[in-house]
Chains A and B, each alone.
Chain A
């Protein structure tokens, strides 16, 4: 498997524009996570899905952010309208189910999308 694939790798946009980040998780993984990384706040979990269903979106900063997972192989994170303070690296990660014993498993990360809003 090629791993978690994110696109684009870099995005520069003007304030007020809509931005869409894309993620293809590893095939067969049941969980998908969106994280944001900044120098000030470190690594923040924005939202995660289990079997395409959003489970916890409490980390989404405000209504300008939305995420979807229309099928098991694709997810998007959309920011509309974008603002300079949204500039960050956005990571997507996926992980397999931990099994009936609930054994926690590790997440596999994509290489990230570096977003710059000017």
Chain B
């Protein structure tokens, strides 16, 4: 079946540091890949997505590239802010709208 593996947290960074959160997946066919973000006390919101190999999703300074050869979709941001502190989930859909999520990675950004 489909599965998503992402790095364990928490990840603690200083403001303006570079961020990478690793995500790899296992899926049959050609899944769509997503990053969702969850701020404290809220539901998940879509951060970015990519629907085919070599696509790059981007939003709010975050980027991730769909790498089929390495089955990866790593999240990056060049300069994080305190307001980016949240839990980040990598996810995929394959064969329909059913989402499979990773376990989430908590990011803490300090001044």
Contacts and interface: CB of A to CB of B under 8 A. Distances in A.
A108 B31 CA distance: 18
B93 interface: yes
B96 A43 contact: no
Interface of A: 4, 30-31, 33, 42-43, 45, 48, 50, 55-56, 91, 93, 95, 97-98, 102-112
Contacts of B42: 111-112
B43 A42 contact: no
A112 B42 CA distance: 7
Contacts of B103: 42-43
Contacts of B51: 103-104
B12 interface: no
Given A43-B104, A109-B43, A112-B43, A104 B89 contact: no
A89 to B, nearest CB: 9
Interface string B26-70: 000001101000000111111001010000000000000000000
Interface residues of B, number: 23
Interface of B: 31-32, 34, 41-46, 49, 51, 89, 93-101, 103-104
Contact of A45 (B34, B41, B99): B99
A91 B43 contact: yes
B43 A33 contact: no
A83 to B, nearest CB: 24
6 contacts: A33-B99, A43-B44, A43-B89, A93-B44, A107-B99, A110-B43
A105 B104 contact: no
Nearest to B103: A42
